Amino acid sequence: MTLPPLPLEGLRVLDFSQFLAGPYAALKLADMGADVVKVERAGVGDLSRQLYLTDTRIGGESTIFHAINRNKRSVEIDMKSEADRAAVRELVRGADVVLQNFRPGVMERLGFGYEAVREINPKVVYGSVTGYGTEGPWVDLPGQDLLAQARSGMMWLTGGAGDGPVAVGLPIGDVLAGAALAHGVLALLFRRERHGIGGLVETSLMEVLADLQFELLTTWLNDGGRMPKRSAQNPAHAYLAAPYGVYRTADGHMAIAMGKLDILAGLTGLDAATAGLDPFAERDRIKAGLAEALAGKTTAEWMERFIAADIWAAPVMDWRELVASGIMQTLDMLQEVRRGEVRLQTTRLPIKFDGHRPAGDRAAPSLGDANDLLSKGWG
């Protein structure tokens, strides 16, 4: 069967960004068919090429770089060379989208800020990610994910009443900022198609982390400024009543989201007096009773009972259990990508088009693998 072209096939993206937020936006565009060319520092490249999470190297580069840069090409640029800068300006002239995620002012000093790029290519869509925006008291602070989590209130919000601040165990600000930037780029591309004008889309780690908390911030802003009290017992949400939480079982942990306390009492042996308490005011007492009861049986035993009784619960699974469950295979969310002798497994685009999930077998680029563009252009 012949499939329709991917939705962004033929779109040209020139990506100056590095590390994670900007490259994540470019990754989403590349997975949907765009021709993404990374602009990298000659001899060094994107610094994430050597940013190791473990001692695992694939083709001499980090897994981080491979994960975030599949389906892309690379050009090496010496920004001190006028010939290289002129070649980049020609690539800008032929690009549909330009992306960057440097601190405010850096791209302007390099000669490739929005105004300079728009002068070369008036219909360009220009996407920019920063840590805290382009003005204000935090503009010059390092825009790094963990630091943004700390400043956003989200780290304070996470965990139990007796815990210190708890960071999310992955770079959620970077990923959300990249996703927001990709959304904004697509919106401006649609406007350009309809109205013939390009534009600038900007986001920041702080903006997306504020947006992530929109429900709870809205509650707080309209609740007289009363701060929520994190649960001291089996925490999972600062506002929600018992039984909402994560509980230890005889052989692991499980999460309980929703369920009537009287039904839970009947299933677990929780005493009726505790089950009859106010689930908001006495949240920790109820959850302490549940925790004691749940520790007596295995996760599988509880899950069988809870599913039958329509209690909203789930086992806490690690990556091995996730993959062994078969859900990743059912969703077709894993793929192998290649570059010469390099072979690695990674994830796929979490979107289907026309009933099919886009797949590309091209691993992250070798530094400068598309340097012929500098002399020949996009072609």
Residues 199, 259, single domain; the answer is: no
The amino acid sitting at 248 is R
Which string of b and e fits 168-183 if b means at least 16 CB within 10 Å?
Answer: eeebbbbbbbbbbbbe
- Cα end-to-end span (Å), the chain: 29
> What one-character DSSP code corresponds to residue 213?
T
Residue 373: pLDDT above 90? yes
Residue 339: pLDDT above 80? yes
Assess if residue 231 is contained within a domain: no
- pLDDT the model gives residue 272: 94
Residues 161, 206, single domain; the answer is: yes
In the chain, the percentage of residues whose pLDDT exceeds 70 is 100
Both tokens assigned to 95: 């690009």
Using DSSP, state whether 178 is helix, strand or coil: helix
* pLDDT one-digit tens code per residue, 154-198: 999 999 999 999 999 999 999 999 999 999 999 999 999 999 999
The residue whose two tokens read 């490249």 is 45
Pairing of strands 312-315, 253-258: antiparallel
Using DSSP, state whether 84 is helix, strand or coil: helix
Assess if residue 105 is contained within a domain: yes
Model confidence at 152, pLDDT cuts 50, 70, 90, reads: very high
* CA pair distance 40, 309, nearest whole angstrom: 56
Residue 4: pLDDT above 80? yes
Q: At 241, phi and psi to the nearest 5?
A: -80, 170
Structural domain range at position 301:
253-315
Residue range 55-74: mean pLDDT, rounded: 92
Beta bridge partners of 347: 334
Residues 91, 173, single domain; the answer is: yes
Residue count (the chain) = 379
Residue 275: pLDDT above 90? yes
Residue range 142-155: mean pLDDT, rounded: 96
Residues 181, 95, single domain; the answer is: yes
Answer whether 335's CB lies under 8 Å from 349's CB.
no
Model confidence at 51, pLDDT cuts 50, 70, 90, reads: confident
Among 90, 101, 98, which residue's Cα sits nearest to residue 133? 101
Residue 1: pLDDT above 80? no
The amino acid sitting at 305 is R
* CA pair distance 193, 186, nearest whole angstrom: 11
> What one-character DSSP code corresponds to residue 353?
B
Assess if residue 61 is contained within a domain: yes
Instruction: Provide the 10 A C-beta neighbour count for residue 73.
Output: 20
Residue range 110-133: mean pLDDT, rounded: 98
Residue 288: pLDDT above 90? yes
Average pLDDT across the chain, whole number: 96
Residues 39, 168, single domain; the answer is: yes
Q: Dihedral of CA 145/150/154/156: which sign?
A: positive
The amino acid sitting at 287 is K
Written as one string, the DSSP assignment of 216-249 is HHHHHHTTTTPPP---SSS-S-SSPPTT-EEEE-
Q: Active-site positions? A: 174
Assess if residue 230 is contained within a domain: no
Residue range 346-354: mean pLDDT, rounded: 94
- pLDDT the model gives residue 53: 80
Residue range 45-49: mean pLDDT, rounded: 94
Model confidence at 41, pLDDT cuts 50, 70, 90, reads: very high
The number of distinct structural domains making up the chain is 2
Model confidence at 359, pLDDT cuts 50, 70, 90, reads: confident
Q: Which residues touch 39 (CB under 8 Å, ≥6 apart)?
A: 14, 15, 16, 75, 77, 88, 91
Residues 302, 341, single domain; the answer is: no
User: Which CATH number characterizes residue 59's domain?
Assistant: 3.40.50.10540
* Strand positions, DSSP E, 208-341: 245-248, 253-258, 312-315, 334-339
Assess if residue 242 is contained within a domain: no
Residues 285, 352, single domain; the answer is: no
Model confidence at 146, pLDDT cuts 50, 70, 90, reads: very high
Assess if residue 134 is contained within a domain: yes
Residues 333, 311, single domain; the answer is: no
Residues 72, 162, single domain; the answer is: yes
Model confidence at 360, pLDDT cuts 50, 70, 90, reads: confident
Q: Which helix (DSSP H) or strand (DSSP E) does residue 38 occupy?
A: strand 35-41
Q: At 335, phi and psi to the nearest 5?
A: -150, 160
Answer whether 44's CB lies under 8 Å from 65's CB.
no
Residue 74: pLDDT above 80? yes
- pLDDT the model gives residue 122: 98
- pLDDT the model gives residue 142: 94
Q: At 263, phi and psi to the nearest 5?
A: -70, -45
Model confidence at 25, pLDDT cuts 50, 70, 90, reads: very high
